Protein backbone atom coordinates (compact mmCIF):
# COMPACT_ATOMS: atom_id res chain seq x y z
CA UNK A 1 0.00 0.00 0.00
CA UNK A 2 1.32 3.37 -0.92
CA UNK A 3 0.65 6.26 1.39
CA UNK A 4 1.57 8.84 -1.17
CA UNK A 5 0.20 10.08 -4.42
CA UNK A 6 2.32 9.32 -7.42
CA UNK A 7 3.31 12.18 -9.64
CA UNK A 8 3.15 11.06 -13.26
CA UNK A 9 4.41 14.02 -15.15
CA UNK A 10 3.49 17.37 -16.54
CA UNK A 11 3.70 19.54 -19.57
CA UNK A 12 2.91 23.09 -20.43
CA UNK A 13 2.07 25.17 -23.41
CA UNK A 14 2.43 28.89 -23.72
CA UNK A 15 -0.49 29.55 -21.43
CA UNK A 16 -1.03 26.65 -19.12
CA UNK A 17 0.62 24.03 -17.02
CA UNK A 18 -0.77 20.49 -16.92
CA UNK A 19 0.10 18.02 -14.23
CA UNK A 20 -0.86 14.37 -14.13
CA UNK A 21 -1.25 12.60 -10.85
CA UNK A 22 -2.23 9.14 -9.77
CA UNK A 23 -5.96 8.58 -10.05
CA UNK A 24 -8.14 8.72 -6.94
CA UNK A 25 -11.77 8.51 -7.64
CA UNK A 26 -13.15 9.62 -4.30
CA UNK A 27 -11.54 12.98 -4.02
CA UNK A 28 -10.06 14.54 -0.94
CA UNK A 29 -11.02 14.44 2.68
CA UNK A 30 -12.40 17.96 2.73
CA UNK A 31 -15.25 16.89 0.51
CA UNK A 32 -16.38 14.41 3.14
CA UNK A 33 -15.99 16.43 6.32
CA UNK A 34 -19.72 16.94 6.61
CA UNK A 35 -20.43 13.22 6.53
CA UNK A 36 -20.68 11.01 9.53
CA UNK A 37 -17.76 8.69 9.78
CA UNK A 38 -17.52 5.54 11.80
CA UNK A 39 -14.98 5.49 14.58
CA UNK A 40 -13.10 2.54 13.04
CA UNK A 41 -12.85 4.47 9.79
CA UNK A 42 -11.63 7.57 11.61
CA UNK A 43 -9.01 5.47 13.35
CA UNK A 44 -7.91 3.94 10.09
CA UNK A 45 -7.58 7.29 8.33
CA UNK A 46 -5.77 8.77 11.28
CA UNK A 47 -3.39 5.83 11.40
CA UNK A 48 -2.58 6.18 7.73
CA UNK A 49 -2.07 9.90 8.09
CA UNK A 50 0.30 9.34 10.99
CA UNK A 51 2.15 6.65 9.09
CA UNK A 52 2.64 8.99 6.16
CA UNK A 53 3.74 11.76 8.47
CA UNK A 54 6.19 9.42 10.14
CA UNK A 55 7.72 8.44 6.81
CA UNK A 56 8.14 12.07 5.87
CA UNK A 57 9.76 12.96 9.16
CA UNK A 58 12.14 10.02 8.95
CA UNK A 59 13.27 11.39 5.62
CA UNK A 60 13.73 14.88 6.95
CA UNK A 61 10.74 16.33 5.15
CA UNK A 62 8.38 18.84 6.65
CA UNK A 63 5.14 18.93 4.70
CA UNK A 64 4.17 22.38 6.02
CA UNK A 65 0.67 22.23 4.65
CA UNK A 66 -1.15 19.15 5.85
CA UNK A 67 -4.87 19.71 5.66
CA UNK A 68 -7.99 17.84 4.51
CA UNK A 69 -7.53 19.09 0.97
CA UNK A 70 -4.26 17.22 0.60
CA UNK A 71 -5.55 13.96 2.01
CA UNK A 72 -6.95 11.78 -0.69
CA UNK A 73 -8.72 8.51 -0.38
CA UNK A 74 -9.76 5.82 -2.76
CA UNK A 75 -12.98 4.60 -1.21
CA UNK A 76 -16.16 6.32 -0.15
CA UNK A 77 -16.25 7.30 3.48
CA UNK A 78 -20.02 7.55 3.48
CA UNK A 79 -20.29 4.09 1.97
CA UNK A 80 -18.03 2.77 4.63
CA UNK A 81 -20.19 4.43 7.25
CA UNK A 82 -23.27 2.72 5.97
CA UNK A 83 -21.54 -0.62 5.78
CA UNK A 84 -19.43 -0.66 8.87
CA UNK A 85 -19.35 -4.40 9.06
CA UNK A 86 -19.05 -5.02 5.36
CA UNK A 87 -15.76 -6.45 4.20
CA UNK A 88 -16.29 -4.72 0.87
CA UNK A 89 -13.89 -1.89 1.49
CA UNK A 90 -12.13 -3.11 4.55
CA UNK A 91 -8.43 -2.92 4.16
CA UNK A 92 -8.63 -0.97 0.95
CA UNK A 93 -9.04 2.53 2.31
CA UNK A 94 -6.00 4.55 1.50
CA UNK A 95 -5.30 8.06 2.52
CA UNK A 96 -2.78 9.80 0.40
CA UNK A 97 -0.80 12.92 0.44
CA UNK A 98 2.02 14.10 -1.72
CA UNK A 99 4.90 14.77 0.62
CA UNK A 100 7.54 16.31 -1.56
CA UNK A 101 8.38 19.93 -0.95
CA UNK A 102 8.31 21.77 -4.23
CA UNK A 103 12.00 22.63 -4.45
CA UNK A 104 12.92 18.95 -4.22
CA UNK A 105 10.47 17.97 -6.90
CA UNK A 106 11.52 20.75 -9.20
CA UNK A 107 15.13 19.66 -8.95
CA UNK A 108 14.25 16.08 -9.59
CA UNK A 109 12.40 16.71 -12.80
CA UNK A 110 14.06 16.85 -16.16
CA UNK A 111 14.61 20.14 -17.88
CA UNK A 112 15.49 22.11 -14.81
CA UNK A 113 15.42 25.43 -16.55
CA UNK A 114 11.87 24.96 -17.68
CA UNK A 115 10.56 23.19 -14.66
CA UNK A 116 11.76 25.84 -12.30
CA UNK A 117 9.00 27.95 -13.70
CA UNK A 118 6.63 25.82 -11.71
CA UNK A 119 8.48 26.28 -8.49
CA UNK A 120 6.23 28.92 -7.06
CA UNK A 121 3.17 27.06 -8.13
CA UNK A 122 4.22 23.82 -6.52
CA UNK A 123 5.31 25.70 -3.49
CA UNK A 124 1.82 26.86 -2.69
CA UNK A 125 0.68 23.44 -1.71
CA UNK A 126 1.16 19.80 -2.49
CA UNK A 127 -2.02 18.04 -3.18
CA UNK A 128 -3.66 16.21 -5.98
CA UNK A 129 -7.17 15.24 -6.73
CA UNK A 130 -8.95 13.60 -9.56
CA UNK A 131 -12.66 13.93 -9.30
CA UNK A 132 -14.75 10.93 -10.01
CA UNK A 133 -15.99 10.78 -13.57
CA UNK A 134 -19.62 11.79 -13.79
CA UNK A 135 -19.43 14.30 -10.98
CA UNK A 136 -20.50 17.83 -11.84
CA UNK A 137 -16.90 18.87 -11.75
CA UNK A 138 -15.94 16.22 -14.27
CA UNK A 139 -12.65 14.47 -14.11
CA UNK A 140 -9.79 16.60 -13.13
CA UNK A 141 -6.56 17.03 -11.34
CA UNK A 142 -5.62 19.41 -8.66
CA UNK A 143 -2.06 20.10 -7.79
CA UNK A 144 -1.15 23.08 -5.78
CA UNK A 145 -3.40 25.73 -7.16
CA UNK A 146 -3.71 24.22 -10.59
CA UNK A 147 -6.79 22.38 -11.70
CA UNK A 148 -7.26 20.43 -14.86
CA UNK A 149 -10.72 19.13 -15.58
CA UNK A 150 -12.20 16.96 -18.26
CA UNK A 151 -15.58 18.27 -19.25
CA UNK A 152 -17.51 17.09 -22.25
CA UNK A 153 -14.44 15.89 -24.06
CA UNK A 154 -12.55 19.09 -23.45
CA UNK A 155 -9.68 19.67 -21.16
CA UNK A 156 -10.36 22.63 -18.98
CA UNK A 157 -7.56 24.05 -16.96
CA UNK A 158 -7.77 26.52 -14.19
CA UNK A 159 -5.22 28.18 -12.03
CA UNK A 160 -6.21 29.99 -8.92
CA UNK A 161 -4.37 31.77 -6.24
CA UNK A 162 -1.05 31.66 -7.98
CA UNK A 163 0.34 35.11 -8.26
CA UNK A 164 -3.18 36.39 -8.57
CA UNK A 165 -3.92 34.40 -11.67
CA UNK A 166 -7.43 33.15 -12.23
CA UNK A 167 -8.39 31.69 -15.53
CA UNK A 168 -10.17 28.78 -17.08
CA UNK A 169 -10.68 27.80 -20.69
CA UNK A 170 -11.42 24.77 -22.78
CA UNK A 171 -8.91 23.04 -24.98
CA UNK A 172 -9.65 21.20 -28.22
CA UNK A 173 -9.61 17.44 -28.24
CA UNK A 174 -6.29 17.28 -30.04
CA UNK A 175 -4.72 19.16 -27.19
CA UNK A 176 -6.29 16.73 -24.77
CA UNK A 177 -4.76 13.81 -26.63
CA UNK A 178 -1.44 15.57 -26.69
CA UNK A 179 -1.69 16.05 -22.97
CA UNK A 180 -2.19 12.38 -22.31
CA UNK A 181 0.58 11.45 -24.68
CA UNK A 182 2.88 13.76 -22.84
CA UNK A 183 1.81 12.41 -19.49
CA UNK A 184 2.48 8.92 -20.70
CA UNK A 185 5.90 9.70 -22.03
CA UNK A 186 6.81 11.62 -18.94
CA UNK A 187 5.72 9.03 -16.49
CA UNK A 188 8.24 8.80 -13.77
CA UNK A 189 9.30 5.76 -11.92
CA UNK A 190 9.34 8.02 -8.95
CA UNK A 191 8.90 6.64 -5.52
CA UNK A 192 9.11 8.25 -2.18
CA UNK A 193 12.28 6.39 -1.32
CA UNK A 194 13.87 7.29 -4.60
CA UNK A 195 15.79 10.11 -3.01
CA UNK A 196 16.16 13.66 -4.15
CA UNK A 197 18.83 15.47 -5.99
CA UNK B 1 -13.93 23.69 27.03
CA UNK B 2 -13.51 20.09 25.90
CA UNK B 3 -16.56 18.92 27.77
CA UNK B 4 -18.72 18.41 24.68
CA UNK B 5 -15.92 16.46 23.03
CA UNK B 6 -15.52 14.28 26.06
CA UNK B 7 -19.22 13.59 26.11
CA UNK B 8 -19.30 12.80 22.40
CA UNK B 9 -16.45 10.36 22.76
CA UNK B 10 -17.68 8.75 25.93
CA UNK B 11 -18.79 5.58 24.21
CA UNK B 12 -15.98 5.07 21.76
CA UNK B 13 -13.15 6.30 23.94
CA UNK B 14 -10.15 8.17 22.65
CA UNK B 15 -10.74 11.41 24.52
CA UNK B 16 -7.32 11.29 26.14
CA UNK B 17 -5.74 10.63 22.76
CA UNK B 18 -7.42 13.62 21.15
CA UNK B 19 -6.62 15.80 24.16
CA UNK B 20 -2.97 14.95 23.71
CA UNK B 21 -3.07 16.06 20.09
CA UNK B 22 -4.71 19.33 21.11
CA UNK B 23 -2.12 20.28 23.67
CA UNK B 24 -1.33 24.01 23.39
CA UNK B 25 2.28 23.22 24.12
CA UNK B 26 3.91 21.54 21.09
CA UNK B 27 6.26 19.67 23.37
CA UNK B 28 3.30 18.14 25.09
CA UNK B 29 1.88 16.68 21.90
CA UNK B 30 2.78 13.16 20.86
CA UNK B 31 5.06 12.60 17.91
CA UNK B 32 3.75 10.65 14.94
CA UNK B 33 5.37 7.49 16.26
CA UNK B 34 4.02 8.03 19.74
CA UNK B 35 0.55 8.67 18.38
CA UNK B 36 0.68 5.52 16.31
CA UNK B 37 1.46 3.55 19.45
CA UNK B 38 -1.54 4.85 21.29
CA UNK B 39 -3.66 1.91 22.46
CA UNK B 40 -6.90 3.55 21.40
CA UNK B 41 -5.70 4.06 17.86
CA UNK B 42 -4.34 0.56 17.56
CA UNK B 43 -7.52 -1.24 18.47
CA UNK B 44 -9.57 -0.76 15.32
CA UNK B 45 -6.86 0.57 13.04
CA UNK B 46 -4.89 -2.63 13.22
CA UNK B 47 -7.93 -4.83 13.04
CA UNK B 48 -9.11 -3.36 9.77
CA UNK B 49 -5.88 -3.49 7.89
CB contact under 8 A, B48 and A57: no
- Position B35 scores a pLDDT of 92
CB contact under 8 A, A47 and B41: yes
Could you tell me if B8 lies within 8 Å of chain A, comparing CB atoms? Answer: no
Chain A: closest CA distance from residue B26 (Å): 15
φ, ψ dihedrals at A121, nearest 5°: -65, -50
Give dist(CA A185, CA A178) in Å, integer.
10
Tell me what the pLDDT averaged over chain A comes to.
46
CB contact under 8 A, A54 and B33: yes
Q: Where exactly are the structural domains of chain A?
A: 7-189
Chain A: closest CA distance from residue B8 (Å): 12
Contact A180, A148 (CB under 8 A): no
Q: Is the predicted pLDDT of residue A132 greater than 50, yes or no?
A: no
Question: Would you place residue A193 in the very low, low, confident or very high pLDDT band (cuts 50, 70, 90)?
Answer: very low
Give dist(CA A21, CA A9) in Å, integer.
7
Give dist(CA B17, CA B3) in Å, integer.
15
CB contact under 8 A, A47 and B43: no
- Position A48 scores a pLDDT of 80
Least confident of A47-51, A110-114, A178-182: A110-114
pTM for the model stands at 0.48
Chain B: closest CA distance from residue A76 (Å): 16
Residue by residue, DSSP assigns B13-46 as: --HHHHHHHT-SSGGGSPPHHHHHT-HHHHHHHH
φ, ψ dihedrals at A22, nearest 5°: -55, 150
Q: Is the predicted pLDDT of residue B34 greater than 50, yes or no?
A: yes
Q: Per-residue pLDDT tens for A72-115?
A: 665 444 322 222 222 222 222 233 333 333 333 333 333 322 22
Could you tell me if B18 lies within 8 Å of chain A, comparing CB atoms? Answer: no
Q: What ipTM did this prediction achieve?
A: 0.83
Give dist(CA A94, CA A51) in Å, integer.
11
Among candidates B12, B36, B48 on the partner chain, residue whose Cβ is nearest the Cβ of A51: B36
Amino acid sequence: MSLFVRFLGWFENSEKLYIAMEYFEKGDLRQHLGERMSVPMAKLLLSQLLEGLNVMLRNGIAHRDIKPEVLIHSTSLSCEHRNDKSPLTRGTEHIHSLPLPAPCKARRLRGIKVYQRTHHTLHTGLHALIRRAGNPGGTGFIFGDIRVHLRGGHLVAGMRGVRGLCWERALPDRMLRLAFLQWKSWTYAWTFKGGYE
Amino acid sequence: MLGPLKEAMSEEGGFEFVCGLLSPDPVGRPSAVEALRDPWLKVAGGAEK
